[in-house]
Amino acid sequence: HVQLVESGGGPVQTGGSLTLSCAASGQITKSYCMGWFRQAPGKEREVVAATRSGGGHTYYADSVKGRFTISQDNAKNTLYLQMNNLKPEDTAIYYCAANSRGGPWPRCFTVNGYTYWGQGTQVTVS
């Protein structure tokens, strides 16, 4: 079982930066993949970025490519999302997620591909 706790959200001005952290209680190296998702008011939860354990695979939504970077520190059991050049449309609750079941890599880009979720952290860009 994995518990995930996000932190690092908050208010930020347009063009600013934030780094989100997701601390895992279990060994995230045992997760097949981990991802960041976001959900804005009135919208469905959408993938922001995903990374596959073992390295070599990362995925970014088109809307964040070149601005956001996903990374993980296995020694600290922590997943990160570095967000630069933030825009008002990035405003949302951001969730981290872990998949322990495996499956095709594209499954890591979908909400249904994940077993464990954090409680979310609010990011507000104005």
Least confident of 36-50, 52-66, 107-121: 52-66
Q: Is the pLDDT of residue 53 over 80?
A: no
How far CA 27 is from CA of 32, 72, 122, 125, in Å, comes to: 11, 12, 25, 32
Q: Which of 90, 69, 118 is nearest to 13 (CA)?
A: 90
The residue that leads in pLDDT, 48 or 105, is 48
Q: What is the pLDDT of residue 101?
A: 80
Q: Which of 104, 24, 18 is nearest to 57 (CA)?
A: 104
Give the whole-angstrom CA distance, residue 16 versus residue 84.
6
Model confidence at 42, pLDDT cuts 50, 70, 90, reads very high
Model pLDDT for residues 10-35, shown as the tens digit of each residue: 999 999 999 999 999 866 666 789 99
Model pLDDT for residues 86-117, shown as the tens digit of each residue: 999 999 999 999 988 878 899 999 999 998 99
Give the whole-angstrom CA distance, residue 109 versus residue 63.
14
Query: Over the chain, what is the mean pLDDT?
Result: 92
